[in-house]
Amino acid sequence: MVGSRTVTAVVGLVVSLLVTVALWWYFDSLFVFLFLPFVPFLFRGLGDDEPTVVQECPHCGFQATVDSYDYCPRDGTRLEPASDR
């Protein structure tokens, strides 16, 4: 059985290739292949909110945004609940 991530990746790849071929055909230039890899950087940060800090290390200041961390990956100190600033 194929997972949803695989299906999403395949659909994204097919759509990306179709858009690339369409732009190449429309502009009749290989410049499209140089420009397209940078398109995701143009839309980076749109609609992204800052993550909520859930826990932090009292020694080094590492901030975890998920509850799955119990210890600091930098120095091994147990994380404490983030203080409201």
Instruction: Please give the pLDDT value at position 47.
Output: 61
Instruction: Please give the pLDDT value at position 85.
Output: 46
Please list the rounded mean pLDDT of every run of 10 residues in the chain (85 residues): 84 84 82 67 66 88 88 91 70
Name the residue ranges covered by the structural domains of the chain: 1-44, 49-85
Q: For residue 28, is it left (φ>0), alpha (ψ between -120 and 50) or beta?
A: left
Q: Tell me, letter by letter, the H, E, C secondary structure of 29-81.
A: CCHHHHHHHHHHHHCCCCCCCCCCCCEECCCCCCEECCCCCCECCCCCCECEE
Instruction: Please give the pLDDT value at position 36.
Output: 63
